[in-house]
């Protein structure tokens, strides 16, 4: 084979490999995963966190202690929550701080323990 023929076959092999790998990448990103979508799981985790905070009396709890309490719950032993970790809890707490307009976990617990406290800004007007 000549040098030109080798280059041609190398180009064909490269194009073939590129097409197959592009197809595989496309399939990875378009295939939906089984189970809960991220938004539904996020809302369920927030509900679970608020439920634990409502029934917990120690207002001096830290995020790490709350994480240990949450991991001990039977609700989070499901396969859908296998990736729940301290970082995810911190992100959810930050979102709850913003929603309830507080700046710490103890303030959030105080707000959650108040009866008939709404989370929307419409209740303030």
Convert the pLDDT of each residue in 33-65 to its tens digit.
Answer: 666 677 888 888 999 999 888 888 877 888 999
Asked whether residue 71 falls in the same domain as residue 112, the answer is yes
Q: Report the domain count for the chain.
A: 2
- The reply to whether 5 and 59 lie within a common domain is no
**Mean pLDDT score, 74-102:** 87
What is the extent of the structural domain holding 42? Answer: 38-124
DSSP conformational letter for 32: P
Tell me if 69 sits within 8 A of 105, measured CB to CB.
no
Reply yes or no on whether the pLDDT at 113 is more than 90: no
Same-domain check for residues 52 and 112: yes
Same domain, 52 and 77: yes
- Same domain for 44 and 27: no
Same domain, yes or no: 112 and 79: yes
Q: Is this structure's pTM higher than 0.75?
A: no
Q: What is the pLDDT of residue 121?
A: 46
Q: Verify that 63 and 3 share a domain, yes or no.
A: no
Q: Is 68 exposed, middle or buried (0-12, 13-18, 19+ CB in 10 A)?
A: exposed
Q: Which pLDDT value is given to residue 96?
A: 92
Is the domain of 107 the same as that of 47? yes
The residue with greater pLDDT, 92 or 1, is 92
Residue 118 predicted with pLDDT over 70: no
């Amino acid at each position: 084979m000549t040098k030109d023929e080798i280059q041609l076959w190398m180009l064909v092999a490269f194009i073939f490999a590129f097409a197959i790998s592009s197809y595989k990448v496309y399939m990875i990103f378009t295939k939906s995963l089984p189970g809960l979508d991220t938004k539904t799981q996020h809302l369920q985790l927030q509900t679970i966190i608020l439920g634990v905070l409502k029934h917990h009396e120690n207002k001096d709890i830290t995020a790490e202690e709350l994480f240990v309490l949450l991991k001990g719950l039977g609700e989070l032993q499901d396969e859908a929550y296998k990736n729940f970790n301290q970082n995810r809890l911190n992100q959810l707490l930050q979102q709850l701080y913003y929603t309830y307009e507080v700046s710490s976990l103890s303030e959030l617990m105080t707000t959650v323990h108040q009866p008939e406290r709404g989370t929307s800004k419409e209740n303030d007007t």
